[in-house]
Structure 1
């Protein structure tokens, strides 16, 4: 029997949203997979030809790009940040919706106009995406890479602005920040390793179609 197809899935908020899609695609993970407290990283499913790994969102793209996993589920923000040529993103899963935005302290925003910026200092998890966005507008961006706690950066003077994911905006508000510009809308995508897409097409293509069908069912419901 061929090695099982490995699907990389991110920890965190997308996990709960992806479970109904797995069910609709005919995949039932072992119970521990949905348990956020489980320290396990690899999980079985009811199908011997499919296993799952649960890793950090940014690492999903790396595992799939390097062929350690054949398929993955990851936000479009991660794909834009890394721009791996080895990845193919055939399905927008229509889950994990949020936006990537520029935010700054409310008192600064009250007298600030983003159209007048020529140079910005930004704390972000997304230095490549952020730099490209500002370069396209003719703005020089000095990006400070942080992996979390972005909202505290302006308070402590590390940067005047941040670029981060926003869904409800509550975290920004609680830290005295406001959105001043939306860079891009974000949703989760099913991604495939390009080599596996060709060499293991008999296993990979039916799974892609199963997820595509699951998304269509969810939209129709």
Structure 2
């Protein structure tokens, strides 16, 4: 029997889903949650299910291309990549934050965001950002960065960013102010559609068990 692989994102989400996963009949090796471990593949209580630890932004890609059949990913990442092969049946009620537009406070003293027409932003989410601003009739040049977004305005790369916001403290510390929320975000269970068709019973059992524990 081919093993079912579950992709878990590193960082904040792996800590938030720990208690949930450890209650399942396919609970992973606790080493999965050890931030000091360099290991990337892990066994579980079910010999037919393994776990892999991946970068949060790569979870959707591993599942979409069938390297993993199931995974956990934020709605921001699901929407940014928009893979047709991914099905997301379950909200996990973890990883709550928001994807927002922010700008330099000094800029907002001089400009009303309602007057923006042609802007440059720094973001990890160029696809979501372009669609959002296009709906407002705003042309946008998106500089793709993978982190430290708040630095871009202070170094004159741009004057606005689109990034995840939790408390807003990082924005404030870097002279930025939240302007508008693009979307509320939480983590979801994601499924490879082909894997669901070929291994429906196993995948559905995993979905049902997690659903009962939420």
Q: What is the TM-score with the length of structure 2 in the denominator?
A: 0.97
SS in 2 for 1:28: coil
- The one-character-per-residue Cα deviations of 1:198-217 (angstroms, maximum 9, x if unpaired) are 101011010011111111xx
State the match for 1:165 in structure 2.
164
State the match for 1:81 in structure 2.
80
SS in 1 for 2:17: helix
Contact 1:14 1:96 in 2 (8 A): yes
Matched, 1:14 2:13: yes
State the match for 1:70 in structure 2.
69
Task: Give aligned pairs, total.
Answer: 214
Distance 1:65 1:205 in 2: 18
Distance 1:97 1:111 in 2: 32
Distance 2:129 2:23 in 1: 36
Distance 2:203 2:130 in 1: 34
Distance 2:67 2:208 in 1: 21
Distance 1:6 1:161 in 2: 39
Distance 1:23 1:40 in 2: 18
Q: What 5-or-longer segments of structure 2 have no aligned partner?
A: none
Contact 1:25 1:213 in 2 (8 A): no
Matched, 1:122 2:121: yes
State the match for 2:59 in structure 1.
60
Contact 1:124 1:162 in 2 (8 A): yes
State the match for 1:218 in structure 2.
none
State the match for 2:50 in structure 1.
51
State the match for 1:26 in structure 2.
25
- The one-character-per-residue Cα deviations of 1:115-161 (angstroms, maximum 9, x if unpaired) are 22111100000000100000011111110000111100000010110
SS in 2 for 1:144: strand
State the match for 1:141 in structure 2.
140
State the match for 2:107 in structure 1.
108
- Point out 4+ residue stretches in structure 1 off by more than 3 angstroms: none
> How far did residue 55 of structure 1 move?
0.5
State the match for 1:176 in structure 2.
175
Matched, 1:187 2:193: no
Distance 1:66 1:211 in 2: 23
- The one-character-per-residue Cα deviations of 1:49-100 (angstroms, maximum 9, x if unpaired) are 1111011111110000000100000000001100000000000101000000
State the match for 2:210 in structure 1.
211
